[in-house]
Amino acid sequence: MIKFLRSLLLTLKDNRGMATMNVHSYTGTEWDYSIPEFWSERLFDDGIKKAFWGSRFEGSEGSSKPIITKDDFTKGPGDAIHFQVLSEIISSGVTGETSLEGSEDKLSMSQFNLTVDWIRNGIAFTENLERRVNFSAVKVCRQKLSTWLANYIDGSMFLQLVSTESPDTIYAGDAASEAALSDNDIFGTEEIDRIKLALQRKGAIPISVKMKDGEELETYGIVISEIDEYNLKGDSVWQQAQRDAGIRGDENKIFTGALGMYNGCILYVDRSVKSGYNIQGSALRPEARLYTSIASTGETTITVGSNTKANYTRFFPSTGTLRIDSEDITYSAKSAYSFTISARAQNSTSAAAHTAGALITLRNVSKQIGFGAEVAVRGWGMKPTPITNERDWGFEKGIGIKAVFGQVAVKDTLGACKNYLLMKSYAKNPGTI
């Protein structure tokens, strides 16, 4: 009893440098016990399945899959996980009774290092909310956090491939540069052929796919936006090819969610996301909506949102040229919800007033990613683990996850991304939404 009172007095005592009652933070075992033991495994499994660059593309070292994964739970934040990347066999071999000894090929093995770091997120709510709703807060939190995990994996991977690195880039139609892209340079079957040829010529490793009949199929993948999908479906050659063939062996997970297959290439669609009721587009085709109207002259800023927690301009480069209605406007800087105007009426367009809600794009330019095997490596130093917090005597609660994670594009010894490339095409919004 004396020990209990002494402990209670120490807890309530307001010493300088110690927390007081009204700011006391308490993490209790009661809250931890409410989380099922399988919670973290379910969250991870759901997240990796929801992700575009998720489980369908994953494989171990030597699997000829687009994303090579490795777990090393001895690694902490800032540590490197080591991956081994192998070359193809290029020797001619021998025939007849010619001795093989001395004519063997050598696999060129290189080590690729990935640095992992903490990723964390959480959801806070009050006991009042939990009593008012008719579902388990823990279950809903797990579902929401798994969606966040999927978006985090995809967002960082797309930005890594499209923005962080500088892969080889080709253009649709007859265009020789991004500035030359116009209405006639949309994505179609000719562009699929061109991407495949470019991947082959640069030595990209094909993706190895085992069909349900046991046949080994070598393919490439191509990721497109939903606007490119719309244009592709209007291509008569694509339409006929899908009627005649369709995907064989669709039990293989690499075909999960695929749009179709053409000339040995599997097509996938990465669709736009929204941020705080405002369109955000994607890394392949950044979009935003004008939040406040702008006049034809005198403007210095383009505002695209008001929620300070949302990053409305996430997929836009740090500088570039925007298209609003029929005017091209260059910007010199951006924040999470605005662009700083540097010049109006560019590329022979005319300055005009624009009303709130107008669509903003990068001159209607979209990107496509053509890829083979070993595009990127992904590592986990710690799989998602639940974290909890309680305040105000347990009335305010929080639940979240922490993990040690990293992923990065694979480059050869010359610093080139040899297993994927970008194509740029013209992708004008066909509707008003």
DSSP codes of every residue in 197-266: HHHHHTTPPPEEEE-TTS-EEEEEEEEE-HHHHHHHHT-HHHHHHHHHT--S-TTSGGGTT--EEETTEE
Domain boundary among 361, 389, 404: 361
35 lies in some domain: no
The answer on pLDDT for 112 being more than 80 is no
Domain check: are 308 and 413 in the same one? no
Domain check: are 270 and 297 in the same one? no
Note the pLDDT of residue 253: 72
Domain check: are 406 and 426 in the same one? yes
Listed in sequence order, the residues at least 6 apart from 113 whose beta carbon sits closer than 8 Å to its beta carbon are: 80, 81, 82, 83
The answer on pLDDT for 110 being more than 80 is no
367 lies in some domain: no
pLDDT class for 275, splitting at 50, 70, 90?
A: low
385 lies in some domain: yes
Rounded mean pLDDT, 154-180:
94
Domain check: are 79 and 160 in the same one? yes
What domain range is 301 assigned to?
287-361
Domain check: are 233 and 335 in the same one? no
Domain check: are 344 and 207 in the same one? no
Domain check: are 241 and 190 in the same one? yes
Count structural domains, the chain. Answer: 2
Listed in sequence order, the residues at least 6 apart from 163 whose beta carbon sits closer than 8 Å to its beta carbon are: 283, 317
Residue 212 CB: number of other CB atoms within 10 A? 10
147 lies in some domain: yes
pLDDT in tens, 186-231: 999 999 999 999 999 999 999 987 766 667 778 999 999 999 999 9
Domain check: are 387 and 238 in the same one? yes
Note the pLDDT of residue 13: 46
31 lies in some domain: no
Domain check: are 44 and 163 in the same one? yes
Q: Which of 90-104, 200-214, 363-377 bottoms out in mean pLDDT, i.e. has the lowest? A: 90-104
19 lies in some domain: no
The answer on pLDDT for 9 being more than 50 is no
The answer on pLDDT for 97 being more than 60 is yes
Q: With contact defined as beta carbons under 8 Å apart, do 417 and 131 qualify?
A: no
Highest mean pLDDT among 96-110, 299-313, 350-364, 407-421: 350-364
Domain check: are 263 and 387 in the same one? yes
Note the pLDDT of residue 433: 72
Note the pLDDT of residue 212: 65
SS3 190: helix
Three-state SS letters, 401-419: EEEEEEEEECCCCCCCCCC
Domain check: are 351 and 425 in the same one? no
What is the C-alpha to C-alpha distance for residues 382 and 428, in angstroms, rounded to an integer? 43
350 lies in some domain: yes
Domain check: are 333 and 432 in the same one? no
405 lies in some domain: yes
What is the C-alpha to C-alpha distance for residues 282 and 366, in angstroms, rounded to an integer? 9
Domain boundary among 361, 390, 418: 361
The answer on pLDDT for 142 being more than 70 is yes
Rounded mean pLDDT, 302-326:
91
- Helix residue spans in 51-136 (DSSP H): 127-132
Domain boundary among 361, 389, 420: 361
Residue 105 CB: number of other CB atoms within 10 A? 12
Q: What is the DSSP letter of 423?
A: E
